[in-house]
Each structure stands twice: as structure tokens, then as C-alpha cells.
Amino acid sequence: MALLDIIVAPDPRLKKKAAAVARVDGDIVKLMNNMLETMYDAPGVGLAAPQAGVLKRIIVVDPAREGAPPAPLKMVNPEIIWASEETKPHDEGCLSLPDEYEPVIRPDKIKVRYVDENNELRTVEAEGLLSVIIQHEMDHLDGVLFVDHISSLKRNMIIKRLTKQKKVESGNKRHALENA
């Protein structure tokens, strides 16, 4: 397995819509395994293929808390087929928006249909944290970031911070290369 590079906002690739996967084959399984390894290494609880620069409708999630056994879900072409009317706010963060957290209101319970790593159609009911993680990662498949669910003022502040951070990091890399 290999670690993948995680795209950090602002980056136009994060705003693109991912394409459906025709069939789960060995390459897709390998990608999902690499995504899981990358997610665990980051560390995170979810990762969508577009965050790794792959515009395919694939997400991996694992809501297991530290110390608990892993409980990964690998989902291809996930679609919400039911969502509760009851909503709840939950502080969300994102591997593509490091160190940024804001409350987002989402349905508390969902039912999702997806294709698993064995190319079999599955359905899962999720609530609480698992529901939030799946919805968050599915948003990435449509080019939506969690900051798109908050006020434009807060969103703009976060994007400005990340832009500034990218410029500083880029300058540091350039300086290191010049002095190597």
C-alpha cells in the first residue's frame, strides 16, 4: 500500500464533480486500500477520492475512536436513499482544510446504498458520527466542502488563512531548495 497526497484548499480540483465508477476491479480496490492507509496516517475518519486527486465516486470512512478496533467502510458510488428530517449540528473538520473546524447542520440519520470492494450492492443505515462522516465525504464527490455549509464570512476567513498558509509553505520550500 502507499500513502497518497491529500489536496489542501484552496485548490480548484476540490470543487470538481467526481465520475461514477463502472465496476470495482483490482485498481479500485488498491485505490481504496491506499485511501484508508492515507486516512489513518493523516489521521482522519474519512477520505474521498477527489481529495487525493482522483475524480471518482469513492469514499472510505472509519468512525472508530482511538483504542477501538478499526471499522472501515469502503464505498463506491454511494447515494443517500433516505435522510431523517431531524438534523443536528456537529463540529466538522477536513483533511483538505487542516486545523479548521466549524459546526455544520446535517440530517442525523441516513440510509446509503453503495457498491463495496467486492463489487456487491450494499445498504447501510447510519446515525450520529457515522452519518456525519459519510455525508461529509459524499459532499466531496460533488465538489462541496464543509465550509460551503457555513456563513460566507466564516468561509472566507478560513480560505484566506489557508491561502496565506500555502504561500508561506511555498516560500519555505523555495527557500530550502535555493539553499540546498
Q: Under a CB-based contact definition with an 8 Å cutoff, are residues 80 and 110 in contact? A: yes
User: Which pLDDT belongs to residue 174?
Assistant: 65
Which residue in the list 92, 137, 169, 178 is annotated as catalytic? 137
**pLDDT mean across residues, the chain:** 95
User: Which pLDDT belongs to residue 171?
Assistant: 76
- What is the C-alpha R_g of the chain? 17
* Short-list 2, 14, 135, CA closest to 75: 135
User: Which pLDDT belongs to residue 169?
Assistant: 83
User: Which pLDDT belongs to residue 177?
Assistant: 63
Q: pTM for the full model?
A: 0.92
User: Which pLDDT belongs to residue 109?
Assistant: 98
Per-residue pLDDT of the chain (180 residues; tens, 9 = 90+): 799 999 999 999 999 999 999 999 999 999 999 999 999 999 999 999 999 999 999 999 999 988 899 999 999 999 999 999 999 999 999 999 999 999 999 999 999 999 999 999 999 999 999 999 999 999 999 999 999 999 999 999 999 999 999 888 877 766 566 666
- What CA–CA distance (Å, rounded) separates 111 from 36? 22
User: Which pLDDT belongs to residue 121?
Assistant: 98
Q: Under a CB-based contact definition with an 8 Å cutoff, are residues 72 and 58 in contact? A: no
Q: Under a CB-based contact definition with an 8 Å cutoff, are residues 17 and 142 in contact? A: yes
User: Which pLDDT belongs to residue 29?
Assistant: 98
Joined together, the cell numbers standing for residue 86 give 431531524
Q: Which domains does the chain have, with CATH numbers?
A: 12-150 (3.90.45.10)
Q: Is 169 considered catalytic here?
A: no
- What CA–CA distance (Å, rounded) separates 23 from 56? 11
User: Which pLDDT belongs to residue 168?
Assistant: 87
Bridge partners for 139 per DSSP: none
User: Which pLDDT belongs to residue 34?
Assistant: 98
